[in-house]
Structure 1
Amino acid sequence: MTETDPRAQPGPATAVAPSARLAATPVPDNVSTPAYLYDLSAVRSAHARLRSWLPEPSELYYSLKANPHPSVVSTLHRLGCRAEVSSPGELDAALEAGVPVSDILYTGPGKRDEDIAGALAAGVRDFAVDSVHGVDQLDRAAALYGVHVSYLLRVNPGGGSRGAGLRMTGGPSAFGADAEDIRACPERYTGGDHARIEGLHLYLATNITDEEALGDSFSEAIEVARALSEALGRPLRTIDLGGGFGAPYARGGELPAYPGLGARLAEELDRALPGWRHHAPTVAFESGRYLTATCGQLLTRVLDVKESHQQRVVVLDTGINHLGGMAGLRRVPPLHPDVLRPNGAAPAQADRIFTAEPPGPAMICGPLCTPLDTWARSHTLPAVVPGDLLSVPNTGAYGLHASLVLFLGHPAPLEIVTDGGQVVRSDRLTFVRRAGL
């Protein structure tokens, strides 16, 4: 659920390149923090940029896991993106954003029976499955509802993708059925009376910034799709090649460019799946981080500045509970965020205790009662005192919704949405304990 906070009034946005827009957006000192600030014009710019790199015709799914805020989801749907969801919460977010069920693909390597039942009750008819059990589970659920559904069979091929921030398949994995087993026993994967295979879903790796490496990943996926289409012995209507498009995270920088990708993939698709230009099959891609990373920044205020064992320590009002929680717990590589003074934000007035020190390295910590709540051990900061407003750029993807927001019970940050220099929405997630049902 959400609640409106009228105190958040960001200033006008400046129309510049999406990667630079947030750094140039004036933010008034009276903004309530912590706060995520999302710029919908940056979402539209990133979408236009990504579409220009893809072969045509093709579909594009938006992966809600990157940022399920309804304003972001509805903006991307109006631009033509279908929604890829993988939980009841993401399904609710897509529906709240106005995405029709006909434009929703429900994925995920493990689904509870009640998750599938809830999706079927909502009208979802397109799924992705990862195993023989997943095929049977979906078929049984659809039979109980007296409906017919289609699914994409997710594939786990061999091989590897160089340059990937995270490899999704290629070894033992929850994601996808092994390509070798599909080829050996295709009849196990084609469905039952109520759930029938529509196509294949391949997502080999993520966060690849190098164009050649990304192209190689898609080339592998195309070849696997060709081979399995023949093995399954039936025409497939959809080949979802997944994503892997990189983006800066919590640091300054621009979205990577892939200017030759579309032409390369079109040529390879012509050879492997010659009917694709006439949607036989339809080729699809998906993206989360590329579409949203540069739309967001996290605003934070300094709570304390001190010297500890000859090192400057700066404590902020946000930390791993709002950004990089999994990195904070060392489950993924640690963050090295850029922490900057936002454009237009004046330094706070030092009181009689604090004197702003010269810029220099500092240990950056959050407010949580754990030493793991540390963004950086030594990061260059401007001279700051308590009350100063700072910003972490490029946090529109995997920000709040990939954090430890429930840990220690601090309020969730505001989420402020701007468009054309105007605040169009400002709300905050809240959590309510209810009796078990």
Structure 2
Amino acid sequence: MISHAELAAEFGTPLYVYDLDELAAARDELFAALPEEFELFYALKANPHPGIVRELRTGARSCRAEISSTGELTAALAAGFTGADCLYTGPGKTAGELAEAIGHGVRLFSTDSVTDVRRVGAVATAHGVVADCLLRVNSVTASAATSIRMTGVPSQFGFDSETLIELLPALREVPGTRLAGMHFFPLSNADEASLIGEFQHTIATAAELAAAAELPLRYLDIGGGFAAPYGVPGERGAYPTLRGELAVALDKYLPSWRAGRPQIACESGRFLVGASGTLVTQVSNVKISRGRKFVIADAGINTFGGMSGLGRLLPVAVGLAPDSRGEQASLVGPLCTPGDVLGRHIALPPVEPGDLLSVPNTGAYGPTASLLMFLGRPAPMEVLVRGDRVVSASRIDYRRVEHVLPAKFESTEGI
């Protein structure tokens, strides 16, 4: 594989390097952990780079696309997906974006409220089509007590399971829609025991709700939550018994699942793409302030923002040589704000201005999950490699201004 130093010399820093071979390995590994009958959606929110999305569409078993915006739809289409390959999710779909999605052939939607279903139906009716709606369920109970919980609490996501049955008469009457099944996403970044327990609970809940409500269950998306490190060294989660445990639970509660009644699906973002990425950044300065060392790099929260700079998933850890003794320092970015911190008091190698640092496992939630436009700095370069070959090199250009002023508002005054 081409060295990060060579790529940095060629393309500059900050620089994301995405290894397509690692990406394909993660895809194949996750498919192997699931029963053969399962479909797998790639959540583009993790990384919508068309080259990455395209790689996940290939292989002996290929992913479908889970999208939640027209921008992600554009990325999916650019990567070779069709609208029919996509599941459109999100609690705040507008009529405009639904029109664009349905116009491009999207027919499967995860819906979160009666209003959401009605809006999908109105747009589908206007296009002369019928849209399949999965009812996202916010279960009142849960199995796993660990990991990041995504259910069992008040939320903008999903129908509360305890009130769903009373809403079904209204949902069944919505023109332009067909109730196709359910969608769950109960937790995130889970170990195998937690994930198996939650999937078992999800499958049992789906079967119980379908029977009690006489709800057609043609499709069931049981969610994801597959673990992978973020911005620190480590390996993807291992799920050696998941396949068998899922089969046992499905045989018990939904015995026709092997024949596709219902079709079962999972989804994943970080697990599929996280390990493929490395962030390479150059040290701009090293300074001591009142006894504390600060290493200032050209990558900050505008480059790797920990989910839009919220800091929930920081600090990062940089790669250290096996024989290197790390020293405590704060790794900060170049922005003119004290909040531009990638890690406080973390282990860093002895560095000088001009040295390169690498942050591993940054293939997910990188540029598009960061404060990309803050202070107007250029976006980082993104390079896709396969072995010793550069497949593509690109940079998001957010500084191009597109003037879309309607004629009735035009002025003779220049901008």
TM-score (norm 1): 0.88
How far did residue 148 of structure 1 move?
1.4
CA contact (8 A) 1:201 1:242 kept: yes
How far did residue 158 of structure 1 move?
1.1
The CA distance in 2 between the partners of 1:408 and 1:164, in whole Å, is 38
Code of the residue aligned with 1:46 in structure 2: it is A
- Do structure 1's residue 413 and structure 2's residue 413 form an aligned pair? no
CA contact (8 A) 1:366 1:373 kept: yes
How far did residue 27 of structure 1 move?
3.5
Code of the residue aligned with 2:358 in structure 1: it is S
- Do structure 1's residue 247 and structure 2's residue 228 form an aligned pair? yes
- Do structure 1's residue 426 and structure 2's residue 393 form an aligned pair? yes
CA separation of 1:311/1:293 partners in 2, compared to 1, >3 Å: closer, same or farther?
A: same
CA contact (8 A) 2:188 2:226 kept: yes
- Do structure 1's residue 183 and structure 2's residue 150 form an aligned pair? no
- Counterpart position of 1:354: none
Code of the residue aligned with 2:48 in structure 1: it is P
- Do structure 1's residue 401 and structure 2's residue 368 form an aligned pair? yes
Code of the residue aligned with 1:125 in structure 2: it is R
- Do structure 1's residue 34 and structure 2's residue 2 form an aligned pair? no
The CA distance in 2 between the partners of 1:51 and 1:435, in whole Å, is 45
The CA distance in 2 between the partners of 1:164 and 1:123, in whole Å, is 39
- Do structure 1's residue 435 and structure 2's residue 403 form an aligned pair? yes
How big is each residue's C-alpha offset from its partner over 1:259-307, in whole Å with a ceiling of 9 and x where there is no partner? 0111111101001111100001010000001000000000100000011
CA contact (8 A) 2:5 2:356 kept: no
How big is each residue's C-alpha offset from its partner over 1:182-225, in whole Å with a ceiling of 9 and x where there is no partner? 123322333523111111101111111x2111111111111111
Determine what percentage of the aligned residue pairs are the same residue.
Answer: 45
- Counterpart position of 2:218: 237
CA contact (8 A) 1:66 1:398 kept: yes
- Counterpart position of 1:206: 188
CA contact (8 A) 1:153 1:201 kept: yes
- Do structure 1's residue 391 and structure 2's residue 358 form an aligned pair? yes
CA separation of 1:161/1:426 partners in 2, compared to 1, >3 Å: closer, same or farther?
A: farther
Code of the residue aligned with 1:337 in structure 2: it is V
The CA distance in 2 between the partners of 1:175 and 1:317, in whole Å, is 37
Code of the residue aligned with 1:249 in structure 2: it is Y
CA contact (8 A) 2:207 2:254 kept: yes
CA contact (8 A) 1:27 1:342 kept: no
The CA distance in 1 between the partners of 2:29 and 2:316, in whole Å, is 25
CA separation of 1:75/1:381 partners in 2, compared to 1, >3 Å: closer, same or farther?
A: same
TM-score (norm 2): 0.92
How big is each residue's C-alpha offset from its partner over 1:15-36, in whole Å with a ceiling of 9 and x where there is no partner? xxxxxxxxxx553251410011
How big is each residue's C-alpha offset from its partner over 1:47-80, in whole Å with a ceiling of 9 and x where there is no partner? 1111111123110000000011111101111131
The CA distance in 1 between the partners of 2:300 and 2:282, in whole Å, is 11
The CA distance in 2 between the partners of 1:198 and 1:241, in whole Å, is 14
- Counterpart position of 1:216: 197
- Counterpart position of 1:145: 127
Code of the residue aligned with 1:366 in structure 2: it is G
- Counterpart position of 1:274: 255
- Do structure 1's residue 380 and structure 2's residue 359 form an aligned pair? no
Which residue, out of 16, 20, 38, partners 1:58?
38
- Counterpart position of 2:294: 313
CA contact (8 A) 2:315 2:344 kept: no
Q: Secondary structure at the match of 1:180?
A: coil
CA separation of 1:191/1:56 partners in 2, compared to 1, >3 Å: closer, same or farther?
A: farther
CA RMSD, aligned part only? 1.9
The CA distance in 2 between the partners of 1:429 and 1:342, in whole Å, is 31
- Do structure 1's residue 46 and structure 2's residue 19 form an aligned pair? no
The CA distance in 1 between the partners of 2:215 and 2:186, in whole Å, is 24
Higher relative CO (Cα under 8 Å, sequence separation at least 6) belongs to 1
- Do structure 1's residue 70 and structure 2's residue 50 form an aligned pair? yes
CA separation of 1:113/1:409 partners in 2, compared to 1, >3 Å: closer, same or farther?
A: same
- Do structure 1's residue 300 and structure 2's residue 268 form an aligned pair? no
- Counterpart position of 1:16: none
Code of the residue aligned with 1:377 in structure 2: it is R
How big is each residue's C-alpha offset from its partner over 1:327-374, in whole Å with a ceiling of 9 and x where there is no partner? 7444x25x121112689xxxxxxxxxxxxxx85111110001111101
How far did residue 160 of structure 1 move?
3.3
Is the deviation greater in 155-164 or in 282-291?
A: 155-164
How far did residue 377 of structure 1 move?
1.5
Structure 1: which 5+ runs fail to align?
A: 1-11, 14-24, 344-357
CA contact (8 A) 1:243 1:286 kept: yes
CA contact (8 A) 2:179 2:216 kept: no
- Do structure 1's residue 126 and structure 2's residue 108 form an aligned pair? yes
Q: Secondary structure at the match of 2:317?
A: coil
Which residue, out of 200, 207, 210, partners 1:226?
207
CA contact (8 A) 2:122 2:175 kept: no
The CA distance in 2 between the partners of 1:66 and 1:47, in whole Å, is 14
CA separation of 1:141/1:212 partners in 2, compared to 1, >3 Å: closer, same or farther?
A: same
CA separation of 1:70/1:196 partners in 2, compared to 1, >3 Å: closer, same or farther?
A: same
- Counterpart position of 2:319: 340
CA contact (8 A) 1:249 1:293 kept: yes
Code of the residue aligned with 1:61 in structure 2: it is F
The CA distance in 1 between the partners of 2:126 and 2:146, in whole Å, is 41
The CA distance in 1 between the partners of 2:243 and 2:143, in whole Å, is 19
